[in-house]
Structure 1
Amino acid sequence: MHPISRAALRPYICASCRYGIGASRRRFGTKPDQTPDIYDVVCVGGGPAGLGLLAALRASPITSKLKVALVESQDLNKAQAWNMPSDQFSNRVSSLTPSSASFLRKIGAWEHLDTNRVQEYQEMQVWDGETGSRISFDWSMETPPFEDMRTVATMTENLNLVRALLGRIAASGDQGLTLFSNTTVASIENGSDLQASGPDLSAWPVLSVKPTGPGSETKGISRIAARLLVGADGINSPVRSFADIPTQGWDYNRHGIVATLALADLDTPPFPANLRTAYQRFLPALGGPIALLPLPNNHATLVWSTTPENAAYLKSLSPSAFLAMVNAAFRLSMTDLKYMMGIERSEQTSHEDELAWHVQHTSLPSQTPPLATAVQQGTVASFPLRFRHAAQYISPRVALVGDAAHVIHPLAGQGLNLGLADVAALSRTIEYAVSHGMDIGDLLTLERYSSERYLPNAKIGGACDLLHKMYTIPGQGPITWARSLGLDVIDKLPFVKSFLMKNAEGH
Structure 2
Amino acid sequence: MRQLARSALRPYVCPSCQRGVLAGRRRFASKADNVPEVYDVVCVGGGPAGLGLLAALRASPVTSKLKVALVESQDLSKGRTWSLEPRLYSNRVSSLTPSSVAFLERIGAWQHVDSSRTQPYHEMQVWDGETGSRITFDWTVETSPFEDPRIVATMTENANLVRALLTRIFSLGEEGVSIFSNTTVSSIENGTDYADGPDLSAWPVLSLSPSASAASQPPSRIAARLLIGADGINSPVRTFAGIATDGWDYNRHGIVATLSLSEPATQPFPAGLKTAYQRFLPALGGPIALLPLPNNHATLVWSTTVENAAYLKSLPPNAFIAMVNAAFRLSGTDLRYMLRLEPTARSSTADISQHEDELNWRLQHTPQPSHIPPPVTAVQDRSVASFPLRFRHTSTYISPRVALVGDAAHVVHPLAGQGLNLGLGDVASLSGTIEYAVRHGMDIGDILSLERYPHERYAVNAKVGAVCDLLHKLYNVPGQGPVTWARSLGLDLIDKVPFAKGFLMRQAN
**One-letter amino acid matched to 1:155:** M
Distance 2:301 2:265 in 1: 24
User: Which of 337, 341, 344 is residue 342 of structure 2 equivalent to?
Assistant: 344
Note the C-alpha offset of 1:356: 0.5
Distance 1:337 1:9 in 2: 65
What is aligned with 1:416? 420
- Cα pair distance change 1:314/1:28, threshold 3 Å: farther
**One-letter amino acid matched to 1:235:** I
What is aligned with 2:351? none
Note the C-alpha offset of 1:468: 0.2
Q: How does 1:99-498 map to 2 (within 5 A)?
A: 99-198=99-198, 200-214=199-213, 219=217, 222-345=220-343, 349=347, 350-498=354-502
**One-letter amino acid matched to 2:97:** T
Distance 1:27 1:233 in 2: 20
**One-letter amino acid matched to 2:398:** I
> What percent of counterpart residues are identical?
71
**One-letter amino acid matched to 1:109:** A
Q: Does the 8 Å contact 1:319/1:375 carry over to 2? A: yes
Q: Does the 8 Å contact 2:244/2:394 carry over to 1? A: yes
Offset from partner CA, 1:194-218 (integer Å, 9 cap, x none): 24344x21110000111014157x9
Distance 1:411 1:492 in 2: 22
SS at match of 1:366: coil
Q: Does the 8 Å contact 2:35/2:197 carry over to 1? A: no
Offset from partner CA, 1:329-386 (integer Å, 9 cap, x none): 0000111011111111475640001000111110111101000000000100000000
Q: Does the 8 Å contact 1:27/1:187 carry over to 2? A: no
Distance 2:155 2:107 in 1: 19
What is aligned with 2:350? none
Distance 1:219 1:247 in 2: 34
Note the C-alpha offset of 1:268: 1.6
**One-letter amino acid matched to 2:111:** E
SS at match of 2:185: strand
Note the C-alpha offset of 1:29: 8.3
Offset from partner CA, 1:421-467 (integer Å, 9 cap, x none): 00000000000000000000000011010111111000100100000
Q: Does the 8 Å contact 1:183/1:213 carry over to 2? A: no
Distance 1:387 1:496 in 2: 27
SS at match of 2:451: helix
- Cα pair distance change 1:43/1:289, threshold 3 Å: same
Distance 2:110 2:217 in 1: 36
Note the C-alpha offset of 1:172: 0.6
Note the C-alpha offset of 1:272: 1.9
**One-letter amino acid matched to 2:48:** P
Q: How many residues align structurally? A: 501
- Cα pair distance change 1:417/1:215, threshold 3 Å: closer
Distance 2:152 2:291 in 1: 12
Distance 1:403 1:163 in 2: 20
SS at match of 2:429: helix
- Cα pair distance change 1:346/1:18, threshold 3 Å: closer
Which region of structure 1 is more displaced relative to structure 2, 231-240 or 261-270? 261-270
Note the C-alpha offset of 1:144: 1.4
- Cα pair distance change 1:284/1:320, threshold 3 Å: same
Q: Does the 8 Å contact 1:98/1:151 carry over to 2? A: yes
Note the C-alpha offset of 1:32: 4.8
What is aligned with 2:71? 71
Distance 1:211 1:5 in 2: 31
Q: Does the 8 Å contact 2:29/2:190 carry over to 1? A: no
Which region of structure 1 is more displaced relative to structure 2, 150-159 or 269-278? 269-278
User: Do residues 38 (structure 1) and 38 (structure 2) align?
Assistant: yes
Distance 2:259 2:8 in 1: 63
**One-letter amino acid matched to 2:152:** V
Note the C-alpha offset of 1:273: 2.0
5+ residue gaps, structure 2, are 348-353
Distance 1:250 1:439 in 2: 36
Offset from partner CA, 1:248-273 (integer Å, 9 cap, x none): 00000000000000000001244322
- Cα pair distance change 1:121/1:31, threshold 3 Å: farther
Note the C-alpha offset of 1:12: 1.5
Distance 2:90 2:5 in 1: 58
Which region of structure 1 is more displaced relative to structure 2, 293-302 or 189-198? 189-198
**One-letter amino acid matched to 1:103:** F
- Cα pair distance change 1:373/1:32, threshold 3 Å: farther
Note the C-alpha offset of 1:222: 1.3
User: Do residues 25 (structure 1) and 25 (structure 2) align?
Assistant: yes
- Cα pair distance change 1:26/1:117, threshold 3 Å: same
**One-letter amino acid matched to 2:109:** A
In angstroms, what is the RMSD of aligned CA positions?
1.7
Q: Does the 8 Å contact 1:105/1:111 carry over to 2? A: yes
**One-letter amino acid matched to 2:211:** T
The TM-score, its normalising length taken from structure 1, stands at 0.96
- Cα pair distance change 1:8/1:142, threshold 3 Å: closer
The TM-score, its normalising length taken from structure 2, stands at 0.96
Distance 1:430 1:370 in 2: 47
Q: Does the 8 Å contact 1:26/1:241 carry over to 2? A: no
Note the C-alpha offset of 1:21: 1.1
What is aligned with 1:94? 94
**One-letter amino acid matched to 2:290:** L
Which region of structure 1 is more displaced relative to structure 2, 475-484 or 345-354? 345-354
**One-letter amino acid matched to 2:72:** E
SS at match of 1:21: helix
SS at match of 1:268: coil
SS at match of 2:507: helix
Distance 2:488 2:387 in 1: 29
Distance 1:417 1:226 in 2: 27
SS at match of 2:228: strand
